Amino acid sequence: MGVLTREDYQIVFYDTPGIMNPEYELQEYMVKTAYDAIEDADAVLFLAEPFKPPATLDKKIFERVSRFNIPVILAINKVDLVEKDSLIPIISAYDKQFKFAEIVPVSALKGTNLDLMLSLIVKYLPEGEPFYPEDYMTDYNERFLASEIIREKVFAFYGEEIPYSTTVEIEEFKEREAGKDFIKAIIYVERDSQKGIIIGENGKAIKRVGLIAREEIEKQIGRKVYLELWVKVMEKWRKDRSKLHKLGYK
């Protein structure tokens, strides 16, 4: 959850997992989480890309979302990567699939039409007092933010297959009045071969992850940190409901 507060409005964003055809327990949890968030929302922002028309899965999503009777805004991102004329058939194809409240082409990278997108979101939100103070940004605590930063670096530094087999658990987070805060984090993988890749030759790869993650954690929480990383194997954790519960997926 993230909060954006401006002079005349406050938007509470829930960034859900992507909706897919689930193949194992973790993906089923992710899809359920996404639909639960949609059901409680005042408006839905559906993100798409301008490279191809709606897929079969998109049609299934639209059919389910239509039951909630919630305004859906289609934001077609990455329009800086295509010619304007190529957007017309993509927009037309989506328009035929679902009755969107609004359709807006944007570029998150270039900042194109982001203010317009925000104004369209506000248009469909109910009037009322702000839920949160002006300086409030998220409801997640520092432990969660630290785990997400470490997981982000795993995604950034390793190929496409291994990151989805990893998750991060903060085993210890000790704030200290004198000296650096202490964080002990465990990166779980599903196989020994993945553990070797994460650690790297002579531990070089995991040291790089730790260095970059520590610097960003310090920036986020505003304090110096001693970060200790461990890599452990937890076989088939994505497919085991009890293991998912242990790791906080509930």
Last residue within a domain, chosen from 88, 123, 158: 123
Q: Are residues 116 and 151 part of one domain?
A: no
Helices marked H in the chain — which ranges?
Answer: 25-40, 56-65, 84-97, 114-123, 142-157, 192-199, 204-221, 241-246
Contact 20/27 with Cβ under 8 angstroms? Answer: yes
Residue 132 lies in a domain: no
User: Among candidates 52, 74, 51, which has minimal Cα distance to 62?
Assistant: 74
Predicted confidence at residue 246, as pLDDT, reads 86
Last residue within a domain, chosen from 66, 95, 123: 123
Q: Are residues 95 and 184 part of one domain?
A: no
Distance from C-alpha of 181 to C-alpha of 73, rounded to nearest angstrom: 43
Q: Are residues 161 and 116 part of one domain?
A: no
What stretches in the chain show pLDDT beneath 50?
Answer: none
CATH of the domain at 30: 3.40.50.300
Q: Are residues 224 and 150 part of one domain?
A: yes
Residue 187 lies in a domain: yes
CATH of the domain at 196: 3.30.300.20
Model's pTM, two decimal places?
0.73
Residue 203 lies in a domain: yes
Residue 205 lies in a domain: yes
> Whole domain around residue 67: which residue ranges?
2-123
Length of the chain in residues, anyone? 250
Predicted confidence at residue 95, as pLDDT, reads 93
Q: Phi first, then psi: what are they for 14, rounded to 5°?
A: -115, 110
Predicted confidence at residue 160, as pLDDT, reads 74
Q: Are residues 98 and 199 part of one domain?
A: no
204-219 tens-digit pLDDT: 999 999 999 999 999 9
Residue 136 lies in a domain: no
Residue 34 lies in a domain: yes
Distance from C-alpha of 4 to C-alpha of 93, rounded to nearest angstrom: 31
Question: Burial level of 74, CB count in 10 A (0-12/13-18/19+)?
Answer: buried
Looking at the 3D structure of the chain, how many domains does it have? 2
- In the chain, the amino acid numbered 174 is K
Residue 70 lies in a domain: yes
Predicted confidence at residue 179, as pLDDT, reads 87
Predicted confidence at residue 57, as pLDDT, reads 83
145-202 tens-digit pLDDT: 999 999 999 999 987 768 788 999 999 999 988 889 999 999 999 999 999 999 999 9
Predicted confidence at residue 150, as pLDDT, reads 96
Predicted confidence at residue 114, as pLDDT, reads 96
Q: Are residues 175 and 113 part of one domain?
A: no
